[in-house]
Each structure stands twice: as C-alpha cells, then as structure tokens.
Structure 1
Amino acid sequence: MVAAALGVGLLVAGPTLRRHYPVAWWLCVGFPAAAWRVARTWRPLMAACGLAQSRKAALTVVSGLVGNGAPPPQPRVPGRGRMHPTSGGFWFLVRTLPGQVPEDFVKAAPAMAHDWEMHAVRVTTWRPGVVRIAATFADPLHRPRVPRQRGAGRLLHVAVGVLESGAQWVIDLREVPHWLIVGATRSGKSTLVNALVAGLAPQRVALVGIDCKGGMELALYTRRLSALATDRAQAVTLLGALVGLTQDRMTVCRKARVRNIWSLAEQERPVPVVVIVDELAELFLIANRTEKEESQAAATALVRLAQLGAALGVFLVVAGQRVGSDLGPGVTALRSQLGGRVCHRVADSGTAEMALGDLNPDALHAAQSIAPGAPGTAVLASADGWERARSHLVTETDAEAVAAEFAHLTPLLPELADHAP
C-alpha cells in the first residue's frame, strides 16, 4: 500500500520534480526506468545492430532444426557490466566479442539512445577489449548549471563552462599548456576568452595580450594586462621580448640545476605568463614584403614560445575566426604545438579541419554540425579524446569589471615594460 502510494505520488509530482530538481528526479525516477529499459532491450538491440554472434555455425544450426526440431541457440551478445548512475545519466562497461572493435559500438550509439529514450549515448575505449557506454537523459548544454569559478582557485586552473557529460569544463594550463580557439562571429569564441580571463584575473599570473585589430577585443582587460600589442609591428616586438623572457628563465633553471620553473623554490619561481592572441589571421595576412617578414618573425616567435613555454611558465591561448593552411606554413607549424583545441561554429570547413582534423575525425564532424542558434557550444579536443561543451556567459561588461577588480594583481615584468598598456 505504501509503495503504491509512493509510486502514484512520484507520477503526479514527476514533472514538477524534474523541472525544479532534475538530479533528484533522475536518481529517483529516471534512472530506475532507464535501467529497466537497458536490461529489457540489450539482447535484441545487440542483435539488431549486428553486435551479436551465433554460438554455432549457420549450417550446424540449420541441420539441427531440420534433424530434430530443436530451436536455434541464443546468440552471444557482448557482456554488459553494472550500471552506474551519474547526476545526468549513467554509464557501464561492455566486454566486446572476438572480432569487434569500438567503432562497431559507436555506430550503434544512436539506436541505443533511441531504445533507451536518452538524449545521447557516447562510446569510448576503456581498455583493450572493453568499451565504456555513457548516456545522458537531457542536454546539459541547453542550460548550463555549473556555477562560475569564484576566487583565485588553483593556479592556472579555470572552470569556463560545462561539458556534455554534465561535469565542469576546466581549462588547466598546467595539464594542457597551449590552446587554439576558433569560431565565427557570434559563435561564442569571445565569450570563452572572457570566461578564461575572468578566471585567471584573480590568480597571481601575468596576462599579455596581442590584438592586431587595434586592441578592440583585448582592450577590455587593459587594467589587468602586463603588456598589450595592438598591431603587427608591436606584436613582433612583444613576441621577441617574450622569447627573451623565456631565455632568461632558462638561465635561471640551468643555474639552479632544474628542468623547469616548477621545480624552483616558490620564492624564486617567476610569475607564470599567459599570452592571449586574438584574431591570429591578422598576424599572418601579408600584402607586401615588409608584412611578409613581420609575419614570418611572428610565426617563428610563436612556435618557439609554444615549444619552450610550458616548462618556463609561458602559455599560449590563440584565437581566431578563420585559421586555415592558406595562411602559410607558420600556422600549420604552430597548430602542431597547440595541444588543446576548441572549435565553435565556423564559417568554413578549412578552419574546423585545421582545429580538429589532425586529432579526431568524429570531433570534426561534431563541430561542423553545431547549429547557429547555439552560441557558446563548442567541440574541444586533445590527444586524449573529444567532447561537446558550452562556456559560461561572461559578457564584455563582466570581463571588464573583473579586470578592474583585480588590477592590483597585475605584475610588472621588466622584460615587457616597453609594452605596458
């Protein structure tokens, strides 16, 4: 009687509970129902998707039916592990059958999502012979619920949004030191840069800006910037100074007999420097010989910073609307050094291919499928895999206010004193 009353109560209050307390609704109502659907459909679903294998050869089965009327044996299906609920879905491990590869399960993911009535299903490799299947019951990118980072937090660690899995989207420059961010106008690229700067501003780091559009984008953060270049000539000089800064830090590390600044004593460790380059194409477009020389100098300096910077506390965040191989070999060489990639909606396929094509073809396809009505939505990829994400909405006003609030933390770097904004 009590169980029946509880069931009726959940059915009546279900819509309200789901709207106001989605996690509680999922754990109390949604997950048990999903677990039942998975258990009920697993065997026929595997068979329909071509992932089941007969226990006997076809001729043996037919001869058995003809000879004695025995029913055919049940086909073998991949072994499914225990389901683990999450705040927005569930996951479980599957042991593949001989001859099966993860791509076979990736192709079956849409059918799984349909049969289990889930928003999306993702398949990833767990270890050889085992895949991980993760499902989400709703799109967490529709209304991100992860709060913005408050306070300084961990050094060079910024929560900028939410992942498709419902977890925080974190950019950790200690883990992935250099990033390429691409996106068309109104795609959310600038919002992501705003979120990153707003998260770094309370930290004891130096922010350096290179904005060859006259400083229109990065001027918002002027009070928090240790240096700013607003045209290509200034950018070349500033990048040269940054290369000189890394060489000075090399000398410090060599004298201390350590391989990076993080091994130095805290009181001797130089301040980390995050270099934000907005609209990369402006550095590489050339119209005459002088601009060609400046472009080559900028490309060389950026590649050197990317190669040496992580160990010496210099990090690159490179953004642009269009980043293609047609900008020259310098862009391709730089791209290979930028391990973190974020691709918003782009206006041309070449930019998406430059950002993601060398990492994961599935990520490239997902990025090209981003709808115009989903600003802030992006595909992020690294050598470890890819995922859809959405950045927090940090407006220009918000970013400017944060930069002003923490202006007192702006370090003065003697090597960059000539480029102070």
Structure 2
Amino acid sequence: MTEEQFVKRIREVGGEVYIVGGWVRDKLAGNTPKDKDYVLCHMKEECFCTLFPLAKKVGKSFPVYLIEIDGNNCEIAFARTEKKQGHGYKGFSVVYNEDVSIEDDLFRRDSRMNSIAMKLPEKIIVDPFHGSEDIKNKLICATSEHFSEDPVRAMRAARQAAEFNFSIAENTIRQMEKCGCELKNEPTERIMNELARAMVTKIPSIFFRYLQKASLLSLIFPEIAALIGQTQPLLFHPEGDSFEHTMLILDLVAQKSTDPAVRFAALCHDLGKGLTPKAMLPHHYGHEKTGITALAQWNQRMTLPARWYQGAAFVIKEHMRAARLAKPGKIVDLLLKIEKNPLGVDGFCIVIKADSKVLPIYLQRIHFLLKLFHSVDMKECPIELKGREIANWLRSQRIVLLKEYSSSLL
C-alpha cells in the first residue's frame, strides 16, 4: 500500500493523518529523514481495525499498529494525552480517543523540535510550539514542564545534542536535573539504549558533557564522572584532567571510526584514573589494572555488549605498553594478541594513535608484520620438538623475522 492510498482511506471516513517526530524534524533541518511514524486524529480504533484488518497491534498501555506503507513497516498511533501518576516511564495514564487533537498529542512530547507534525496529504506543517525556530537556532528546548516526567528524556536530550551538535537551553538543563531521582532507578536497558545511540553520534563527548552539566553523570555513569578533577602531568596532558583527556580522545577516535565498540574502548581507556588515590596525583601508576576493576563494576551495574566489554578491557590493559615496547619478543607477543582482539587490528591502533599521538613503527607496519609472522614454514620445524617446544620455536622464528625487518629500517 502506498502512503497516498493509506491517507485516502483514512480521510474517506473523516480521519486525519499526520507524520510526526524525527522524520519531520530531519526534513525541516535539511537532513535525510529516516523512518516515518504516523498519528491519526478523529478516528476510533474500531474503525481503523475495520479499514486495516491485517494491521499488527503492538504496545500495551496504548495501541500502536504496524502497517506496510511504501515497502516499509510503519508505526501508526492514535493521538493521545498522558498524565503522570506513578514512577518512571510506565507511570502514566494515557487517554486516546477521537477527541484528542494533534496539538494535544504534540504537547506531551519531549522537545519543541520533536513536537512538529506534517498533515497529509496537504503537507501542511503543524508547529504550535515553534520547534522549527529551535531547529534553525540549533537549540534543544523542552516542550513543556512535563519534560521531566519521563526521566530518560534527559539522556535523549543530551544524546540529540551530540547527534546534531545542538545546544540545550538552560531551562531545559534544569528540567534534566529533575530527572535524576527517577533516572537512577530506570531499567538499565533504557540507559544502555541511549548510551549505544550516543556512541554513534557526530560528537559523542557532548552527550557526557551535558549529563555533567545537568548533574546526572555521576548518577548514570559514575566511572566516567570519577575522572573529573583527576589531574595529570601537564607536560603530557595540557588539555586538563582525566575527564577532559577522555573526552578529547573519544572525539578523535569518533573522527576515525564509526564502530561503537572502538569508540567505547576510547571512552574507557583511562577508566582506572578515576580510582587513583588523591595522594598519588598527578600520576596514575597502575591505572591499567584499576581500569579493569572500574570496567567490571560498570558491567556489573548494567550489562555491556560483550564486544564492547572485551574490547575495552583489552585496550585498558595494553594501551600503555603498546606505545613503549622495545624488546622484540614482547613486541611479537603483543602483535599476535592485537590480531585477535575484539576491536580488530585497525580499531585498536586508532585508539592507541589518538592517545599517544604517534604510533610506534611496529604498529604502523602491523599488517605487514603479521603477514610476515604467518609466513613461517612449519615444515622447517625440527622433527624432534614436541608440544610447547614447537610453540617456542615458532616464536623464535618470528622474533628473528622482526629483528631482520627492524634492521632494514635503520
């Protein structure tokens, strides 16, 4: 069914159809819109079901239907209003009927730039809260005082600021602060969903900075908040404390990789510095070990994707010595570990280069060296060797190859 056919059938029985949310926002911003969500007004659910008997109903607290339109599965909802009566995102009573207007529906939404609709088929923009002005001004502003009633909206505002490189209005930051009490008790799946989406934004550091401005960072991601104020030697870190350094590396890595696991590893590479005793500052001896502890605490609180966790753990453990090794045997061992790490060779090297500014020659040539190591002919292994002796022989051959290659560069 085409959108034109869908709209015509709704209009024939007196209903109204609107496209809402992100699609309209992105269209007005000049970005490529993604999935379309539709809202219906002046229509009873029973009438809709009669018109579209094959529509699949989803959602429990209010009806949302899935219909294939123009080849895509689209969400069709009825205009509704909400009233906060409990805790968290489930603590709402919902009213949806044919008397709820599109303006009523838009009023319940989080930010003004998301409270815009397009009426079909006329393509008339309905913008009662002047969200289009916010888009022009690159500003995120709460639609109403009801913003803080769903606590995850605070994270969504920070994430969209990072996604679009928008500012958040000061009064909206104050409303984000009010989300703290309920946010810390929200299901970790909702927290992880926003984190995952933040990790693929244009400038992910903006997400964490706005959470800090709204006094939420220590509640949601205490391991990152712990980096604030942890001083570092100025000679090596003129950018500031461990938090500033982490934000800098995160954004540098984001410029080189779209892989959220690689970006997360960058976020976590110095996680152990948050556990450094104040008496030791500005030095952070052993933060490679305390970083594993901090990461494990994070994972215990909210289960991280396995590849994120494993990749971050590998970077935390190896990022300091990766840029400093000199002994051929240790270099061989590390290169073979890097080859098997969850982030891939290139992902690991992107983080190390961002952190160290320059890759050592053996990491610059890592693909060639690994190919060289795997060229060792096992047929040349002495026949009398057994078990571990064979592994030691293979390692020795690779060390010889590394030394020969290194000498050729001198």
- Normalised by the size of structure 1, how large is the TM-score? 0.25
Normalized per residue, which structure has more helix?
Answer: 2
Q: Taking CA–CA contacts closer than 8 Å with sequence separation of 6 or more, which of the two structures ends up with the larger relative contact order?
A: 1
- Normalised by the size of structure 2, how large is the TM-score? 0.26
